[in-house]
């Protein structure tokens, strides 16, 4: 039997339904109750709208007991606070003011404006919190917690530990721009920007907005106890073929080392003539801080590199036109003509064409000392143009010592010859 006992109350049909308050409505179903003013139960079975303007759409054993609270459907759901909402699901509770549970099972939104969109046994416990997935717990104000289904055993949960956190548990990885994350956090993009100075040209940006001289950027932490060895890689660099092209790794002594195929330290230096054609391997002359393939009269002979591990003195902005990468120390391929033996000194050829020639240590002359580019670390019998590996920037005091030793030997020999001539003259009685 249905009862519509409230003023202007309505029961549309069904059985054992009750609309007992002002303008209360039960649309149909069975054993449903709308017992507060303007409350509504659309249908279903054993549902109750027991607060002012509360609504239960349907389902089974649902209760909307908060003012203007809503339960859309499902089973055994409760919206108990003012303007709280449960969309559906099973055994869900929205007990915070304006809190929302979208669906799922055993979920609770108990904070003001808190949300659980669905999932299983997740709790948005405090104000402005969000919990979703499997046993997520937003226990502090303003937190967002997502938990995947990998938690074991069932008693475990993934919970916030402080206010205003954004937490994600995803055993399969977090992908941004990719649906196949290769690790725990994978960002993929095709940037539209170009140019090294354009932030839109990069896939990711880490920005510290603190305007201070001691502001910091990105921190890398590993779990190694003690001094990380070279097998502990803090950062690795790969090309598009997944070839590792560089890395920052532990050095086994409490520090790190930068590891790359580059083999020298270089700096940008300007060309004297911006239009001069200069290329890697060229021997160049240094004139007042600028370089040229002309070497006659240069204060120093140097070499152009394209394989620097460290490159300093970067030109301002993005424009490196008119600059060359000049090696200061390390191993560099150098253009050379003529036979080269390991240990030979490389000096400019004098042709002002970017080439060098080999000089044997025994053949060094005083005028060569200011021209030494470096010392050959390989032999090559090809008499034509080629590149040989040369160490540059290391101490050439041995060459100076050898030259001085040879000069002293020549002087000693000449002095001996002079003394012998004097003796011969005296013996001959020549006045």
Q: Is residue 226 over pLDDT 90?
A: no
- 47 inside domain: no
Same domain, 316 and 370: yes
Rounded Cα distance between 354 and 110, Å, is 77
Choice among 128-142, 198-212, 323-337, 344-358 with the minimum mean pLDDT: 198-212
Same domain, 280 and 347: yes
- 274 inside domain: yes
Do the Cβ atoms of 370 and 300 come closer than 8 Å?
yes
Closest CA to 329 of 265, 239, 235: 265
Between strands 264-270 and 323-336, the pairing is: antiparallel
| Model confidence pLDDT, tens digit, residues 170-181 | 999 999 999 999
- 239 inside domain: yes
Rounded Cα distance between 86 and 66, Å, is 12
Q: What is the DSSP string of 20-35?
A: -STT-EE-SSBS-EE-
| Model confidence pLDDT, tens digit, residues 388-414 | 999 998 766 565 556 556 555 666 666
Residues ≥6 apart with Cβ < 8 Å to 424: none
| Model confidence pLDDT, tens digit, residues 98-140 | 999 999 999 999 999 999 999 999 999 999 999 999 999 999 9
| Model confidence pLDDT, tens digit, residues 142-171 | 999 999 998 877 778 999 999 999 999 999
Same domain, 312 and 340: yes
Same domain, 239 and 348: no
Q: What is the DSSP string of 154-187?
A: TT--EE--STT-EEEE-TT-EEES-SS-SSSEEE
Angle 222-223-228 from CA coordinates, rounded to 5°? 70
**What mean pLDDT is reported for the chain?**
91
| Model confidence pLDDT, tens digit, residues 31-89 | 999 999 999 999 999 999 999 999 999 999 999 999 999 999 999 999 999 999 999 99
- 81 inside domain: no
Mean per-residue pLDDT, 183-201 = 88
Q: Is residue 429 over pLDDT 60?
A: yes
CATH number of residue 335's parent domain: 2.40.300.10
- 332 inside domain: yes
Angle 209-238-190 from CA coordinates, rounded to 5°? 60
- 26 inside domain: no
Burial-class residue 295 by CB neighbours within 10 Å (0-12, 13-18, 19+).
Answer: buried
Same domain, 272 and 373: yes
Q: What is the DSSP string of 237-297?
A: EE-TT--EEEEEEE-SSSSEEEEES--EEEEEEEBSSTT----TT-EEEEETTEEES--TT
Rounded Cα distance between 280 and 38, Å, is 85
Same domain, 430 and 337: no
Rounded Cα distance between 59 and 73, Å, is 4
Evaluated on CA atoms 48, 51, 56, 62, the torsion sign reads: negative
- 199 inside domain: no
Same domain, 271 and 302: yes
Give me the phi and psi of 402, to 5 degrees please: -65, -40
Total domains in the chain come to: 3
Same domain, 241 and 283: no
Q: What is the DSSP string of 325-354?
A: EEEEEEEEEEEE-S-B-TTPEEEE-SSSSS
Rounded Cα distance between 56 and 271, Å, is 81
pLDDT for res 194: 83
Task: Give kind and range of the element (H or E) at residue 392.
Answer: strand 386-392
Q: What is the largest CA-CA distance in the chain?
A: 160
Closest CA to 406 of 379, 370, 369: 369
Q: What is the DSSP string of 204-217?
A: --------STT---
Rounded Cα distance between 302 and 284, Å, is 5
Considering the entire predicted model, what is its pTM? 0.76
Same domain, 274 and 308: yes
Tell me the two tokens of residue 306. 């394209």
Same domain, 276 and 384: yes
- 151 inside domain: no
Same domain, 415 and 329: no
**How many CB atoms within 10 Å of residue 163?**
13
In percent, how much of the chain has pLDDT > 70? 92
- Range(s) of the domain holding residue 246: 227-260
Same domain, 329 and 429: no
Evaluate the omega torsion of the peptide bond into residue 423 and state whether it is cis, within 30 degrees of 0.
Answer: no
């Amino acid at each position: 039997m249905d009862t519509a006992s409230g003023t202007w109350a309505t029961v549309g049909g069904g059985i054992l339904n009750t609309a007992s308050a002002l303008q209360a409505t039960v649309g149909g179903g069975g054993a449903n109750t709308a017992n507060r003013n303007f409350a509504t139960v659309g249908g279903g079975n054993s549902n109750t709208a027991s607060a002012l303007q509360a609504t239960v759409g349907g389902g089974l054993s649902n209760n909307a007991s908060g003012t203007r609270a809503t339960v859309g459907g499902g089973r055994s759901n409760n919206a108990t606070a003012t303007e709280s909402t449960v969309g559906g699901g099973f055994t869900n509770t929205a007990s915070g003011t304006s809190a929302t549970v979208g669906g799922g099972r055993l979920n609770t939104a108990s904070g003001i404006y808190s949300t659980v969109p669905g999932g299983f046994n997740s709790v948005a416990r405090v104000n402005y919190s969000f919990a979703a997935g499997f046993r997520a717990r937003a226990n502090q104000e303003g937190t967002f917690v997502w938990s995947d289904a990998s938690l074991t055993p069932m008693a475990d949960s993934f919970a916030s530990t402080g206010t205003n956190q954004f937490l994600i548990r995803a055993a399969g990885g977090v992908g941004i721009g990719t649906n196949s994350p290769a690790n725990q956090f994978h960002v993929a993009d095709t940037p539209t920007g170009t140019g090294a100075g354009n932030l839109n040209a990069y896939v990711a940006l880490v920005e510290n907005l603190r305007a201070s001289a001691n502001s910091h950027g990105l921190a890398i932490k590993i779990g190694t106890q003690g001094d990380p060895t070279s097998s502990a890689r803090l950062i690795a660099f790969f090309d598009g073929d997944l070839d590792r092209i560089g890395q920052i790794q532990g050095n086994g002594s409490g520090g790190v080392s930068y590891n790359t195929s580059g083999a020298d330290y270089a700096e940008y230096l300007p060309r004297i003539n911006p239009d001069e054609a200069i290329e890697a391997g060229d021997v160049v002359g240094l004139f007042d801080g600028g370089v040229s393939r002309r070497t006659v009269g240069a204060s120093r002979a140097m070499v152009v590199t394209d394989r620097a591990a460290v490159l300093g003195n970067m030109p301002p902005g993005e424009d490196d036109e008119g600059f060359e990468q000049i090696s200061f120390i390390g191993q560099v391929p150098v253009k050379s003509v003529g036979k080269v033996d390991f240990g030979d000194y490389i000096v400019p050829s004098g042709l002002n064409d970017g080439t060098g020639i080999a000089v044997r240590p025994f053949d060094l002359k005083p005028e060569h000392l200011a021209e030494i580019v470096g010392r050959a670390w390989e032999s090559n019998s090809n008499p034509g143009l080629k590149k040989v590996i040369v160490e540059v920037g290391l101490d050439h005091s041995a060459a100076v010592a050898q030259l001085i030793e040879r000069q002293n030997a020549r002087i000693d020999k000449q002095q001996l010859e002079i003394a012998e001539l004097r003796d011969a003259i005296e013996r001959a009685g020549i006045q």
